[in-house]
């Protein structure tokens, strides 16, 4: 029997889970962002302006779903350079589009205790919480381990690519936290502020990283339920059409790729590699000695990535 990890029966809605508009320090209005993202095939868009949750439900239509959210932040204070201070940023996404409470945040009140208090407050007020741009936080993995109650991890942050591409995609931190026992779902996002326009400017921060959300319908409750179940994966290009386990093997079908790999809790991995100048679209490998979980990583010919969450033995397969 096929045990689906990524079901081909679900629709995959393309989402930008982190953005800034003229409601905070972004350059484009919510209406302009909707127009630009919708034109490029996005269906879900988290308007996550700084510090204040705002609903943009008026922008919803049958092909576009605004998520009610905001970005909270707290940073170390002191004499050292701003760039040397640890800063923890996280998105809170309301489970209801219009019925929400604010989560008070004092950005100068930096401590792990305060970070965890804010997250607990957000969860009590029915928000989904994600860690943002983990590299830019200057946190060690030990510090991330102390953060409690977070469900999502921004595995790709596009604006950070403009400060140095190696900072934007953080699979090492993600895998380390998974191996230490954290349950986190991977999100891709732009964190677009649109400082560098037009959209084809080399340092434009839109359309770089996104999340595929697997659901039956584009409805607020369905999208939130998919996020809660972990029916999401991070991508900067490749798509994973289906993945399942059967009789001790993992099968996956993807968009054209240079490599499709199974990673795991242990050092046991497997990969299908395209011959030079060719592309592949399938992986079939043994799940042997992989420990508590496996996950999929796809790289296309242009170096774009897709990465799934961890799928747990005994729960997911
Ligand atoms: Zn931020
Ligand atoms: Zn941001």
Residue 273 and residue 139 in one domain: no
Domain count, the chain: 2
Residue 306 and residue 215 in one domain: no
The residue range of the domain holding 219 is: 11-236
- Count CA atoms within 13 Å of residue 285 on its CB side: 23
- Model pTM score: 0.97
Residue 78 and residue 220 in one domain: yes
Residue spans of the chain under pLDDT 70: 164-165
Q: How far is the CA of 48 from the centre of ligand 1 (A)?
A: 10
pLDDT at 212: 98
CA-CA distance, 156 to 153, in Å (whole number)?
Answer: 9
Residue 178 and residue 120 in one domain: yes
**pLDDT, tens digit, for every residue of 21-79?**
999 999 999 999 999 999 999 999 999 999 999 999 999 999 999 999 999 999 999 87
Q: How far is the CA of 141 from the centre of ligand 1 (A)?
A: 18
pLDDT at 82: 80
Q: How far is the CA of 64 from the centre of ligand 2 (A)?
A: 21
CA-CA distance, 216 to 234, in Å (whole number)?
Answer: 19
CA-CA distance, 68 to 53, in Å (whole number)?
Answer: 7
Q: How far is the CA of 270 from the centre of ligand 2 (A)?
A: 35
Residue 242 and residue 232 in one domain: no
- Cα-to-chain-centroid distance, residue 225: 15
Work out whether the CA dihedral 1, 310, 255, 35 comes out positive or negative: positive
* 248 within some domain: yes
Helices then strands, counting H and E runs in the chain, come out as: 6, 18
Residue 78 and residue 186 in one domain: yes
pLDDT at 193: 96
Q: In the chain, which residue ranges form alpha helices assigned H by DSSP?
A: 30-39, 112-124, 141-146, 158-161, 171-179, 220-229
* 42 within some domain: yes
Q: How far is the CA of 253 from the centre of ligand 2 (A)?
A: 33
* 2 within some domain: no
Residue 229 and residue 263 in one domain: no
pLDDT at 80: 79
Q: How far is the CA of 131 from the centre of ligand 2 (A)?
A: 11
Q: Which of 201, 236, 271 is the last residue of a domain?
A: 236
Q: Which of 216, 236, 256 is the last residue of a domain?
A: 236
For ligand 2, a single-atom ion, the residues with CB < 5 A are 71, 191
> Could you give the C-alpha distances from 299 to 4, 8, 192, 200, in angstroms and in order?
21, 20, 23, 23
Q: Which of 183, 203, 236 is the last residue of a domain?
A: 236
Closest ligand to C-alpha of residue 193 is: 2
């Amino acid at each position: 029997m096929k045990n689906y990890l990524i079901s081909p029966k679900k629709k995959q809605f393309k989402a930008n889970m982190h953005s800034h508009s003229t409601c905070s320090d972004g350059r484009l209005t919510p209406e302009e962002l909707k127009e630009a993202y919708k034109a490029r095939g996005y269906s879900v868009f988290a308007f996550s302006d700084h510090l204040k949750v705002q609903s943009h439900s008026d922008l919803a239509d049958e092909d576009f779903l605004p998520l009610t959210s905001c970005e909270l932040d707290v940073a170390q204070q002191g004499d050292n350079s701003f760039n040397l201070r640890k800063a923890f940023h996280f998105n809170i996404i309301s489970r209801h589009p219009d019925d929400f409470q604010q989560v008070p945040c004092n950005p100068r009140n930096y401590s792990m205790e305060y970070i965890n208090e804010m997250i607990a407050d957000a969860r009590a007020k029915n928000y989904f919480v994600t860690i943002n741009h983990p590299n830019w936080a200057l946190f060690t993995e030990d510090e991330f381990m102390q953060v409690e109650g977070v469900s999502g991890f921004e595995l790709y942050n596009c604006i950070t690519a403009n400060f140095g591409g190696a900072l934007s995609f953080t699979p090492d931190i993600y895998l380390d936290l998974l191996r230490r026992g954290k349950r986190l779902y991977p999100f891709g996002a732009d964190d677009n502020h649109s400082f560098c326009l037009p959209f084809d400017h080399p340092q434009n921060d839109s359309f770089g990283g996104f999340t595929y959300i697997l659901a039956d319908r584009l409805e607020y409750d369905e999208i939130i339920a998919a996020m809660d179940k972990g029916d999401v994966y991070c991508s900067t290009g490749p798509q994973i059409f289906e993945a399942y386990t059967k009789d001790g093997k993992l099968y996956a079908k993807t968009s054209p790729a240079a490599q499709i790999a199974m990673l795991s809790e242990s050092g046991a991995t497997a990969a299908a590699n395209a011959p030079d100048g060719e592309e592949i679209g399938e992986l079939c490998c043994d799940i042997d000695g992989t420990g508590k979980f496996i996950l999929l990583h796809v790289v296309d010919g242009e170096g774009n990535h897709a990465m799934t969450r961890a799928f747990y033995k005994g729960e997911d397969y």
